[in-house]
Structure 1
Amino acid sequence: MSRYYIGADLGGTGIKAALIDARGVIAARSKAATPVTEGAAGILRALKDVIRALLSEGAEVGGIGVGSAGRIDAAEGIVRYATDNLPGWTGMRLAEALTAEFALPAAVENDANAAAAGEGWLGAAAGLCSFAMLTLGTGVGGAFLHRGAPVSGSQGAAGEFGHAVLYPGGLPCNCGQRGCAEQYLSGSALSRRAAEAFAGWDGRRLLEAFAAGHSLAAGAVEAYLDDLSYAVHNIQSYLDPAAVIIGGGVAESHSVWWEAWQRRLAALSPLSIKVLPAKLGNEAGMLGAARLIMDREQG
């Protein structure tokens, strides 16, 4: 019988998980809405239910990996800090709770680290010794992997590129700082730029107009691409990765703006920067979480 691992991706909106073998083949899936109104107890219960549904498939399971939003102590499997998107989640001893419930080894990582691990295993970064990942979604996340393992830092906060200050004294951020990259590069930020330029527009419509050659849309999108260029330049300066992988919802439309961005990046940065679009989409977090527990159990 093949041996499988459970990889789960837990965010403020939904929980999704899959039964995954050593080749990265998904045998079964399970998902649920994240019951944030029920607090930590409800979120944990929903996660357990999703995992239990996969275990009911009857496969031999070697362990459980979870990528969770928040600042994670991966060595201890503890959520050190989570925002109000996951109320009460700060302090959750998640690995311990899952092992107690299912009698299986469990590993917990930050969700961006898990997604990057997935891209490093089967996606855009496969075969790279070191790489950074920048995710452009509702917020902006990031990760840095070296020799296949996420670099977490002393407080579990390494790779928080979205909260590096891009514009000192700039727009207020929900982290308490001002001018964070997240306020300029997220999908929400792109929609804000669209609405500022054209009443009633969102980011999707702005990109569609840009692709159609709309001159005023081009100005708003090019300003966004300039900010993205500076953020990636800074990542390259800090870490010198072999590549920077761009993921998240905004990146899914990369065919519209990638070529234009490459020209602007080359013009704005003197560094040699290899950038690649992510390949795994919404499956990256589940695959990466499964890979992390595989590596821990096999290593």
Structure 2
Amino acid sequence: MNLNVPNTLRRMNASVVLNVIRQNSPLSRAQIAKLTGITKATVSEIVSDLLDEKIIYESGFSETGGLGRKGVLVNFDPDHGLGIGIDLGGTKITFSLFNLNAEILAQRQEPTYPVTTRIEFIDRFSASIQAFIEYHQVPREKLRVMGIATPGIVNHLSGVVLEGSPNLPEWDNIPLAAELSSRLNIRVILENDIRAALVGEMWRGKCRHVHSAALIGIGTGLGAALLVDGKIIRGVNNAAGEIGYMMFERSHLSQNWRNKGCFENYCSGSGLSGRIEELSGASMSAKEILQAAASREHLPNQVVEELADYLTIGIINIVNIANVEKIILTGGVAQSAALFLPRVQANLDRHLFANTRVFVELSELKEQAPLYGIAMLALDVVYPSIHFMPDTQIN
């Protein structure tokens, strides 16, 4: 006999009631009972508990349409708990404040710190977070969690950056969640930035109601995140999506791609610059190359076409392995996709079949995607009873 069944059932019912209130408030207790199929007596008990917790509040009365007694309306309070969401990049850091509806309430950006040691970086990072909290007068008693989206291979369960970005100092094997939690006295959730962006696309962007998709980030570097059959794929060592290290021909095996992966060498901002220098000896930024390609200059146009063709091959490989429904592009280079996306889509249409065909789309959330995503990931940990995307598994 399982003695925990009543408690388990009560928790399940409480979660159902809370989510119905969150999605449909204001509601009376009678309306909640009707929507959930839970008895009025049980609903009243659960509502009393939620009122004590202050995650809901009473306001006004329902219309009865007759002589019956009006019911007191209850409402979800999205500001009962707040969180800090951060997109930690190699060139800039974006701070945000979110509530229990995963809505972004405030946002600020600053350049990534020009320091050379991990300790210096974390000290300045902690000070910036504290300044953001104080500037927006966030009550500490309401601050429940902080989520950080960072480049590199991240163990989201332990909060450790296993292999990080070369643009961040000593960013390997760093217990970032524990370091920040001890300094700021707040629970910290960590995730890879592209994976967080994919969750953001699932919540507010191009991947809503989609169960299999890939988000490809083409910026200074190259990375991807995968959603397969409603589950975010991380892999045994959290390295799923490291597509920058894909190889495409036998000769690639003889080269050392440790510092910059083969695919990344052909399909990224730094890769474009490297290819121009390799082919001509000229030094050009990715932005300059893309502008020159837009003006139909021969060599810049050639390396952008090369990028398009390698991107096509990478997408075909992803599609044939995972049979995804959507491919979304994000990142700085992706913002110039008008230069190469028609070529990519034409190649895909030529080589994919009826059951694997996909259309490549651009993210509309852009830099907002990882902020929404890390908010979702953090809330899923500290408020598991709130069901934002019940048909997906993000943690």
TM-score for both structures, normalised by structure 1: 0.87
Instruction: State, as a whole percentage, how many aligned pairs show the same letter.
Output: 29
- Higher mean C-alpha deviation, range 209-218 or range 3-12: 209-218
| Aligned residue in 2 for 1:241 | 324
Compute the displacement of 1:121 (Å): 1.4
Alignment of 1:26 onto 2:104: yes
SS in 1 for 2:84: strand
1:136–1:186 contact (8 Å) kept in structure 2:
yes
Alignment of 1:276 onto 2:365: no
Structure 1 gap ranges (5+): none
TM-score for both structures, normalised by structure 2: 0.67
Taking only aligned residues, the RMSD between alpha carbons, in angstroms, comes to 2.8
SS in 2 for 1:153: coil
For 2:264 and 2:376, locate their aligned partners in 1 and report how far apart those are by CA, in whole Å.
28
- Point out 4+ residue stretches in structure 1 off by more than 6 angstroms: none
Alignment of 1:253 onto 2:336: yes
For 1:13 and 1:212, locate their aligned partners in 2 and report how far apart those are by CA, in whole Å.
28
Compute the displacement of 1:100 (Å): 2.5
Specify whether residues 280 and 70 from structure 1 end up closer, same or farther in structure 2 by C-alpha distance, changes over 3 A only: same
| Aligned residue in 1 for 2:309 | 226
Alignment of 1:115 onto 2:115: no
Alignment of 1:14 onto 2:92: yes
| Aligned residue in 1 for 2:266 | 184
The number of residue pairs the alignment matches comes to: 298
For 1:107 and 1:149, locate their aligned partners in 2 and report how far apart those are by CA, in whole Å.
19
For 1:185 and 1:282, locate their aligned partners in 2 and report how far apart those are by CA, in whole Å.
20
| Aligned residue in 1 for 2:167 | 85
Alignment of 1:64 onto 2:143: no
User: Which of residues 122, 128, 143 in structure 1 aligns to 2:210?
Assistant: 128
Which protein shows a greater Rg?
2
For 2:163 and 2:273, locate their aligned partners in 1 and report how far apart those are by CA, in whole Å.
28
Compute the displacement of 1:50 (Å): 2.6
Compute the displacement of 1:151 (Å): 1.8
1:230–1:269 contact (8 Å) kept in structure 2:
no
Specify whether residues 44 and 216 from structure 1 end up closer, same or farther in structure 2 by C-alpha distance, changes over 3 A only: closer
Specify whether residues 254 and 69 from structure 1 end up closer, same or farther in structure 2 by C-alpha distance, changes over 3 A only: same
Alignment of 1:45 onto 2:123: yes
Compute the displacement of 1:218 (Å): 4.8
For 2:83 and 2:312, locate their aligned partners in 1 and report how far apart those are by CA, in whole Å.
38
SS in 2 for 1:104: coil
Structure 2 gap ranges (5+): 1-76, 385-395
For 1:168 and 1:112, locate their aligned partners in 2 and report how far apart those are by CA, in whole Å.
29
For 1:71 and 1:250, locate their aligned partners in 2 and report how far apart those are by CA, in whole Å.
22
Compute the displacement of 1:199 (Å): 5.1
2:276–2:299 contact (8 Å) kept in structure 1:
no
Specify whether residues 289 and 173 from structure 1 end up closer, same or farther in structure 2 by C-alpha distance, changes over 3 A only: farther
Alignment of 1:294 onto 2:379: yes
- Higher mean C-alpha deviation, range 162-171 or range 127-136: 162-171
- Choose between structure 1 and 2 for higher RCO, CA contacts under 8 A separated by at least 6 residues: 1
For 2:188 and 2:289, locate their aligned partners in 1 and report how far apart those are by CA, in whole Å.
43
